[in-house]
Amino acid sequence: MSELDLYEVIEDIEEVGHVQYMAVLRDHWATINAIKELLGCEKYAAAQDIWETDVPYSDRIILWKAPTRGFGSCWDTWERKALKEGAYDI
């Protein structure tokens, strides 16, 4: 496999990842917006509860991307921190 072929494979993998991410994002759009509203009101425990109960673990893994990773993320850095740590260190 040439270096050019390798880059094509990597681009294909990233494209599949993006398509999968967008499908999961679409499926949980209403829940994500509800969580963002709760985080904006500093209701961290309620946001964490919805995140952990309404979004399946496999989908949470897909949605848990760093905002700086390639094509972005549905979560800002502070929102990821709030979902992970709650009211501590925000």
pLDDT tens track for 18-68: 788 889 999 999 999 999 999 999 999 999 999 999 999 999 988 987 666
d(CA 67, CA 74): 7
Tracing tokens 């398509």 back to the chain, one arrives at 19
Residue 7 has pLDDT above 50, yes or no: no
**pTM of the full structure:** 0.76
CA angle 64, 61, 76 (to 5 degrees): 10
